[in-house]
Structures are given as structure tokens and as C-alpha cells.
Amino acid sequence: MKNHNLFAALRAAFPQDLDSVAVETDNGLAYSWRDLERGTAMLANLLKSLQLPEGARVAVQVEKSVEAMMLYLATLRAGYVFLPLNTAYQSAEIEYFIGNAEPAVVVCSGKNFGWVSKIAFKAGTQNVFTLDEDRTGSLLDRAAHCSDKHEVVQRQPDDLAAILYTSGTTGRSKGAMLSHGNMLSNALVLKDYWGWQAGDVLIHALPIFHVHGLFVAIHGALINGSKMIWLSRFDPKLVVRKLPEATVFMGVPTLYVRLLAEPGLTREACRNMRLFVAGSAPLLIETFTEWQNRTGHTILERYGMSETAMLTSNPYAGDERRGGTVGFPLPGVSLRVRDEGGQVLPAGEIGGIEVQGPNVFQGYWRMPEKTKEEFTADGFFKTGDVGKIDERGYVVIVGRSKDLIISGGYNVYPAEIEAYINDLPGVAESAVVGVPHPDFGEVGVAIVVARPGSILDTEQILAELKARLANFKIPKRCFSISDLPRNTMGKVQKNILREQHKALFT
Ligand code: MCA
Ligand code: AMP
């Protein structure tokens, strides 16, 4: 019987010479393909020895390391479900994810073991391990005693491989359930579409707890048997230094903005590069054009979501890569634009983007009602993005119907921040809006209204938020005003607030 486990496909793409270098790190380590094979086998055997129930979740909040990537691959290999968590998340956020996902295994960094294990044990998790970026911690100590031979567990295409939490416009985060088939189909399509070839080398500079760094980048390199130059964090100077050794780079727009600030970014530095991919947030046309002028390369912009992995891409070859567009629907993806009445719109007209395809997720974890709401009667997923298909078939995203700020490639949901602010003493109400920012693309600004008789200290409000929420969610500025602008229906007019504050950082 064919094994549809994503790991089996990635493993099958390893090069013949298992002793060649698979990953080279920024602290001088080299991992061979054999190291990946053995390391993932040992970690998979450790998971197996825990006798976890079928479909068990493995929740992981650790710093970026090759071992953390191996833990992801080992979870696939052992047939369990990987749940990556942003390292910026603090205790209330982690408590929610662990409480909701009920993982059988939690892996955290050593410095967080105290509070994370407390949350995990309270939620019924039996196994809590530590893993640090310097290859220490109880996870590797335990795995060291496990066999380095492991048979990849049989999986079907619809079996779950990962759960990615994405915040909702109302209420709490939802866990998007992705299957082995969702991710393998996407990886294979991108391998072909982006022309991955023998000898490609990827600079991996993104975090590995979201789709871009964990799936698009890692799957892309592995399914092509390509070496990765692995940077533990994004450092523009180091990226520029490594460019001559690489052929492929992937980044969110902020990474491109920061690279452009490096004088060393020249045509000469990019001489061996084949492909620069951008996504996760809109790439400004100025960045697109400046990159072209400086490097001679045209950034390929693509569009995706946690719920769907990649949906559209500018062409690699053949047609032109058009700045300000996200290209064509990928092979196998059906994409349409509909108006609020459900009418499919012709080219050029703006409406809600809906998609269907083998990459579209299995639904939200334990939220069948929410899942139903997000799909149309004929099975298309409503992305919440607003756009059009231009006269040449390129998809253009013009906005979002969901109230979402994308800051440096991370999603920030105003509703979540407003709920925290509204709970603070003396606050009557608040609104968080996104405004343009030269580095992060967009950042949040909070506007607060005091209760009668109260005076608000806006710096104190930001400090309180900082103590509770992931740092990238903290509004960059906070203003106190007497009333929020509302329309005749009583709805806060965020467009007015955005307009008032749009020049704060530009
Ligand atoms: C850091 N800070 C931020 C952000 N990152 N503020 C707003 N937005 C951000 N993204 C703030 C911190 O709160 C801190 O503020 C200060 O900047 C320095 O923090 P530090 O961690 O040192 O920042 P950094 O290392 O310079 O990080 C910037 C970054 C990072 C490299 C751009 O945000 C990043 O790696 N972004 C990539 C996100 C990503 O991979 N997204 C893909 C999602 P203070 O000092 O005040 O505390 S996948 C996805 O969206 C879909 C599926 C898709 O299509 O790919
Ligand atoms: P996430 O929930 O983190 O998966 O973020 C998905 C959202 O990021 C999409 O619904 C889009 O709003 C946005 N996004 C991803 N890629 C692009 C892009 N190239 N241009 C504009 N928005 C993008």
C-alpha cells in the first residue's frame, strides 16, 4: 500500500549521497542527509515509545534550530500532529492553545519549562520536554537512547499532519487542520512551478512556526533534495554575505526592505541567485522596483494562508512577474471572486476571494460550526481577502474583509488586542487600527476612550499589554480620545481612525 505520509515523500527526495551536506548553520555546523535521516528516526522512536494515542498533538514552542526542524519531521514520520507555536507567545496565549489542542506532548525551551509545564500538566499533557537552540534539553537526552532505525508510519492523504492556530476576527484563535495530502500536493506543485532544480541552495532566514518558514521553505528545499543555509534569525548582513553561495531566498516584505538598506546588496552579490520569493503580506511596488534596479532580479510574489498553504504565484518563467499582483492560481487551485450576493464577478471587478483545491485545509480544530461558516455551499473556502482578477488573469489583492493587521508578516487581530485593552481599569472602549509603516509594512495603533471620571495613561496601557501579549501584537502607539467615530448604525468607523493616523510613521 502506498504510504501518503508527507515525510515519506520528503525522505524519498533525499540525494543518493546521504553524506553530502543537507543543512549548514550560521554557527558553523553541517548536518548531512544521513544526520537528518537518523535524527528524525531517533526522535520518531522517542515519540513512539511514549505510546501516544492515534492523532496525538505535539505542541512545540522553541527557538529555531535544526533539531526543532527535525522534531517537526519526526512528528510527521511517527504519524502524529505537529502544532508549532510562535516563541513570542506569552502565558495567556500558550494556555489557550494548549487547553484547546490538548497536546499529548509539549516541547518548550529550558528557560520556560517552569510556566509552560505547569500549564501543560494542568491541561492533562503527560509529556513535557525541553529543547534549546544549543542542542541541549531533555528531548535530545531522551532521544539519544532511541534507535536510529524507524519505519515511516503509514498515513492517508486526509490524515492530519499539523494544526496551525490563526486568530479570528471575533473570539479566540482557531486551529487550522492541515493534512499530509494538503501539504504534499502544495510542495509538489511549487517544486514544479518555481522550477526547483539540481544544485539549488536555499537561504532559510524565516521563523519556523508559521507556514512560510515551516512549510513553503523547508518542504521546498527537502522535496528537491536541496541544501539549506540555515540562519537562526534574520540578519540582513549575514544574508547578503551568504547570497553568493545560494540560489533561492524566501522572505516576508520586511526582509526585503531591510536587505535593501544593506550597501552590500548588489548585482554581484546576487550573481548565483535564481529566485527571490516574497509573500505573507503585500509587497510594495517601490520595494519590487528598487529590488529590480539594485539586483537585476524580479521578486516573485505569491499568496497563501495558514488554512490553504500557497494559492497563487507569479510565474517563474514564461509570463512576466507583475509587481502589485500575486500572480495566477496554482495548478489544481480554483479561485473565484464573488460579490456579497454570491455572484461570480468578471475580470476587473472587486469582491471576496474564494478558493478550492487539494491544498485547502480539513477545517478548524473542534469548531465544526465555524468551519461550515467559512465554506460556501459548493465547497469553496472564503479567504476573507478582497481582490480581483485582472485582464491578464493575475490576481490582485486590494484589501481584506477580515479586520486584520499584517505587521512584518505576522498577523495581528485588532479584536484580540481591543479585548485586552477594554479589560484595563478606566477604559470604556478602544479601537486598534493598522497604519502604514516603512519597516513592518503595517503596524497597529490603539485609540482608547476613558470611562467618565477616569484619566488614562497611554504609556501604561502599552506596558500592560506588553506584559500579557506577544511583542509583535503590541500597538506601536496609543492615543486617548473622547469618543470613537461611529456610523448611524453605531459601528466604529475604523477607516476614519486609519485616515487620521496614516502619516504617523511615514
Ligand atoms: C518584531 N517586532 C515587531 C515584529 N517583529 N513588531 C511588529 N511586527 C513584527 N513582525 C518588534 C518587537 O516587538 C520588538 O519591539 C522589536 O520589534 C524587536 O524585536 P525582534 O524580535 O528583535 O525583531 P526582529 O528580529 O527585527 O524581527 C522582525 C522580523 C520578524 C525579522 C521581520 O518579525 C519576522 O521574522 N517576521 C516574519 C514573520 C513570518 O515568518 N511570517 C510568515 C507567516 P520592542 O523592542 O518594543 O519589544 S505565514 C503566512 O503569513 C502565510 C501563510 C503566507 O502567505 O506565508
Ligand atoms: P495567515 O493567517 O498568517 O496564514 O495569513 C494569511 C493572510 O496573509 C492572507 O489571508 C492574506 O491576507 C495575507 N497574505 C499572504 N500573502 C500575501 C500577499 N502576497 N499579498 C497580500 N497579502 C498576503
* Average pLDDT value for residue range 361-366: 98
User: Domains plus CATH for the chain?
Assistant: 6-14+28-180 (3.40.50.12780), 188-357+369-375+382-400 (3.40.50.12780), 404-501 (3.30.300.30)
Query: DSSP string covering 360-427, please?
Result: S---BTT-HHHHHHTB-TTS-EEEEEEEEE-TTS-EEEEEESS--EEETTEEE-HHHHHHHHHTSTTE
Say how many Å lie between the CA of residue 332 and the centre of ligand 1. Answer: 32
Q: 330-341, pLDDT tens digit by residue? A: 999 999 999 999
Give the C-alpha separation, 144 to 13, whole Å: 26
Say how many Å lie between the CA of residue 358 and the centre of ligand 1. Answer: 30
Say how many Å lie between the CA of residue 409 and the centre of ligand 2. Answer: 8
Q: Write the CB contacts of 301 (distance below 8 Å, at least 6 apart in sequence).
A: 277, 278, 279, 283, 288, 313, 314, 321, 323, 325, 326, 327
Q: 214-250, pLDDT tens digit by residue? A: 999 999 999 999 999 999 999 999 999 999 999 999 9
pTM for the full model? 0.97
Say how many Å lie between the CA of residue 281 and the centre of ligand 2. Answer: 5
Give the C-alpha separation, 252 to 255, whole Å: 6
Atom of ligand 2 nearest to the CA of 211: 4
Total number of residues shown for the chain: 506
Say how many Å lie between the CA of residue 280 and the centre of ligand 2. Answer: 4
Burial class (CB in 10 A: 0-12, 13-18, 19+), 27: exposed
Which residue of 208, 250, 440 sits with most ligand 1 atoms within 8 Å of its CB, as the best mutation to test the pocket?
Answer: 440
Report whether residue 57 contacts ligand 2, using a CB cutoff of 6 Å.
no
Q: 120-140, pLDDT tens digit by residue? A: 999 999 999 999 999 999 999
For residue 138, the model assigns a pLDDT of: 98
Mean pLDDT of the chain: 97
For residue 235, the model assigns a pLDDT of: 98
Give the C-alpha separation, 287 to 258, whole Å: 10
Give the C-alpha separation, 478 to 443, whole Å: 12
Atom of ligand 1 nearest to the CA of 213: 40
Q: Return phi, psi of residue 428, to 5°.
A: -85, -50
Report whether residue 282 contacts ligand 2, using a CB cutoff of 6 Å.
yes
The H-or-E segment that residue 326 falls in is none
For residue 500, the model assigns a pLDDT of: 98
